[in-house]
């Protein structure tokens, strides 16, 4: 069992349990929780507390036809696909939520410069979720952040100014952090990264390439 040292912050777990976490970060949280017993237990606690609060909340009067309309909509809705029932299955190093986004196929890597590769899983012009492939010993260009970035290691490890991150670990970076992630020597590092704003690269070449890399 991988020893996970860097976890999802508790406030993010609470927001995830309540359905208030920005969609950009949901895949990272779901992937981490699938690998981390401690965060899975914390999430279950938040879900239990949320359910208890809902039960104690005062009821609201509703239209008497609401139940009938709701049942009618359920009758019209298509049945869920069998593959969508229950937790998605892991695929190699990729936790279930990531494997589902990949459609249980290997990533289609695209060069991102300096030996680094990526596959964008979700992107809407500002926020994104992507896989990053960083060869052992190579660095991601020095950068800061215009928002929040969650980076979860799936294979290998990397280190930066804040510490070392191995499989299952999550680094939470905000606007206060400027860093240069460097993959450990040896095994290539593969990460799942989610951002809610474009990165702030500090050198010219990455800034020029940024519109093409969509990061």
Tens digit of pLDDT for each residue in 47-79?
998 655 555 555 555 566 655 655 555 455 444
Report phi then psi at 13, rounded to 5. Answer: -65, -40
Task: Evaluate whether residue 165 is within a structural domain.
Answer: yes
Q: What pLDDT, on the 0 to 100 scale, is given for residue 159?
A: 98
Tokens, residue 184: 């450990």
Question: Tell me: the pLDDT tens digits for 114-135?
Answer: 899 999 999 988 899 999 999 9
CATH number at 173 reads 2.60.120.10
Q: What pLDDT, on the 0 to 100 scale, is given for residue 78?
A: 42
Residue 204 pLDDT greater than 90, yes or no: no
Task: Evaluate whether residue 120 is within a structural domain.
Answer: yes
The per-residue pLDDT of the chain, averaged, comes to: 87
Q: Which residues contact 97 (CB under 8 A, 6 or more apart)?
A: 27, 30, 31, 34, 88
Which of helix, strand or coil describes residue 8?
Answer: coil
Task: Evaluate whether residue 37 is within a structural domain.
Answer: no
Which of helix, strand or coil describes residue 116?
Answer: strand
The answer to whether 146 and 187 have CB atoms below 8 angstroms apart is no
Task: Evaluate whether residue 106 is within a structural domain.
Answer: yes
Task: Evaluate whether residue 195 is within a structural domain.
Answer: yes
Q: What pLDDT, on the 0 to 100 scale, is given for residue 85?
A: 39
Q: What gap in Å lies between CA 163 and CA 146, rounded to an integer?
A: 21
Residues spanned by the domain of 197: 101-213
Q: How many domains does the chain have?
A: 1
Q: What pLDDT, on the 0 to 100 scale, is given for residue 2?
A: 63
Which pTM value belongs to this model? 0.81
Task: Evaluate whether residue 67 is within a structural domain.
Answer: no
What is the mean predicted confidence (pLDDT) over 6-14?
97
């Amino acid at each position: 069992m991988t020893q996970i040292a860097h976890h999802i912050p508790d406030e993010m777990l609470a927001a995830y349990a309540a359905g208030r976490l920005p969609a950009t970060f949901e895949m990272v949280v779901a992937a981490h929780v699938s690998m981390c017993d401690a965060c899975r237990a914390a999430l279950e606690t938040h879900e239990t507390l949320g359910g208890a609060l809902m039960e104690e909340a005062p009821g609201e009067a509703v239209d008497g036809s609401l139940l009938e309309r709701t049942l009618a909509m359920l009758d019209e809705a298509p049945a869920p696909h069998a593959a969508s029932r229950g937790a998605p299955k892991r695929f190699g190093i990729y936790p279930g939520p990531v494997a589902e986004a990949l459609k249980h196929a290997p990533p289609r890597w695209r060069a991102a410069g300096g030996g680094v590769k990526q596959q964008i899983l979700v992107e809407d012009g500002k926020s994104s979720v992507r896989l990053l492939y960083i060869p052992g010993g190579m660095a991601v260009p020095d950068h800061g952040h215009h928002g929040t970035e969650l980076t979860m290691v799936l294979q290998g490890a990397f280190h930066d100014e804040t510490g070392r991150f191995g499989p299952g670990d999550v680094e939470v970076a905000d606007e206060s952090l400027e860093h240069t992630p460097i993959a450990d020597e040896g095994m290539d590092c593969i990460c799942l990264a989610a951002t809610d704003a474009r990165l702030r690269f500090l050198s010219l070449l990455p800034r020029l390439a940024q519109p093409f890399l969509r990061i």
